[in-house]
Copies of this chain bind each other. A is one copy, B any other.
C-alpha cells in the first residue's frame, strides 16, 4: 500500500486521481505508466489519502467534484476525500482565481505545525507536489532557510519550499516519507534541501516532471550525437491553454524555468549548440492539449545539410500524471530501502532537471534501463 497526499489539486493531480481510479476499477488500461505492474507495489496499492489546494473554489469540496471539472468521466469512487486548505504564498498571483491559504491566517511556523499534525493523521507515505509553477529563489544555505521560516518571511518562500520543509519535519518524526517534486522549483537540485532530506528520513525526487517535448528532444539529440551529426541549431516552441501556460505568461514564473538545466543540449551533444527552447505562449482553446513544434538543423557526412521538424498535439497533464503512478511507488520503495536524500537513477528518467545539482542529462532511453535496474527490474534491451 502507498498512501499519497496531493499538494495542488489542479489538472495534473485530477487526471492522476481519475486515471488511477479507472485503472484500479479495470475500466482503462494503464497506458502512459512506464512500469505498469512490474514493480512489487502494484497500481491498485496506491491510495490518495489527502489533497491540498488554495483555490477558494476547491478548498472544502469533495475530491470527486473538483476532479470532474477536469475529467467529465471521473469515477464516483473518488468521493469521500475533502480538499484541504494548503500553503498559498502568492502561488496563484496574477491568475484569475480567488485564493485562500493557511499562511493567510497564521505564521509559517504555525502553518508547518498544522500540516505536520494533519499528516500524522493521514499517514501519507508519499507527497506529490503539482502546484502551479512558482517564481522562486533557491536557498544558499540551511541557515537562510531556517531563518526565513522562523522570521515568517512570506516574501522569500514559495508554497513548495514550505511543503518540503513540513514534509521533512513529518518524515523525521514518523520514520520516513517521500516527496515527489514535479514542478520546476529547485528541490532535488538544491543542496540545502537534499541535505535536509537526508537528515530527516525524507526521499526527494525532482525536479520538474519530464513531460512534453523535452524528453523527446533529448532522445532525438542523442540519436544525432551517436551518428556524430553536427547540430547547428535547435528551435522548440510550445503553446497551450491550461493554467500552467497561463501562469508562465507571468514573467517572474517563466524565469523559474530558466533554472532548469539548460545544459540538456550540451550534456547530450557534447557541445552547446545554439538553441531556443522555452514555453512560448498561451492560447486558451488549446486547453490541456498543447501544440509543440521543433526544428533541428544538422550537418551530415561530406558537409551535407539536413533538417527535421517535429510537430505534435500532446495532452500535457496525462503525460505527467502517468509518471506519477510510478513515482509514488518508487518513492515508497526508496523509503523502505532508506535511500534518503535524492535518487539520481529515478530523477534521470522522470525529471526534466534531474537532481542532484551536479548531475547531468543522459539519453532517456538509457536512463530508463538504469532506472529499471535501480528498481530491481531486468533491463529491457541491455
Q: Which residues of A contact B (CB under 8 A)?
A: 15, 18-19, 22, 28-36, 71, 215-216, 219-220, 222-223, 226-230, 232-233, 235, 237, 239, 274-276, 280-286, 289, 291, 293, 295, 297, 299-315, 318-319, 321-323, 325, 362-366, 368-369, 380-382
Contact = CB atoms under 8 A, between A and B. Distances in A.
Contacts of A223: 215-216, 219, 364-365
A297 B30 CA distance: 17
Contacts of A322: 227-228, 300-302
A299 B31 contact: yes
How many subunits of this chain does the assembly comprise? 4
Nearest to A325: B301
A368 B300 CA distance: 18
Given A233-B283, A233-B286, A363-B365, A216 B226 contact: no
Contacts of A239: 235, 237, 276, 295
Given A229-B32, A301-B321, A365-B366, A276 B281 contact: yes
Name the prevailing secondary structure of the A interface residues.
mixed
25 contacts: A15-B302, A15-B304, A30-B301, A31-B229, A31-B230, A31-B301, A31-B303, A32-B229, A32-B299, A32-B301, A33-B301, A233-B284, A235-B283, A235-B286, A237-B293, A275-B283, A276-B280, A276-B281, A276-B282, A300-B315, A300-B318, A302-B321, A307-B313, A308-B314, A365-B366
Contacts of A291: 235, 295, 309
Given A276-B282, A295-B291, A365-B223, A228 B300 contact: no
The residue among A19, A223, A226, A325 with the most chain B CB atoms within 10 A of its own CB is: A226
A295 B238 CA distance: 11
A66 to B, nearest CB: 16
Contacts of A19: 301-303
A226 B34 contact: yes
Contacts of A366: 365-366, 369, 381-382
B232 A302 contact: no
A269 to B, nearest CB: 12
Contact of A301 (B215, B283, B319): B319
Contacts of A229: 31-32
A373 to B, nearest CB: 11
B280 A280 contact: yes
Given A33-B228, A301-B321, A301-B325, 13 more contacts: A30-B228, A32-B227, A32-B301, A216-B223, A219-B223, A276-B280, A295-B311, A302-B321, A304-B318, A304-B319, A308-B312, A309-B309, A362-B381
A191 B101 CA distance: 53
Nearest to A361: B381
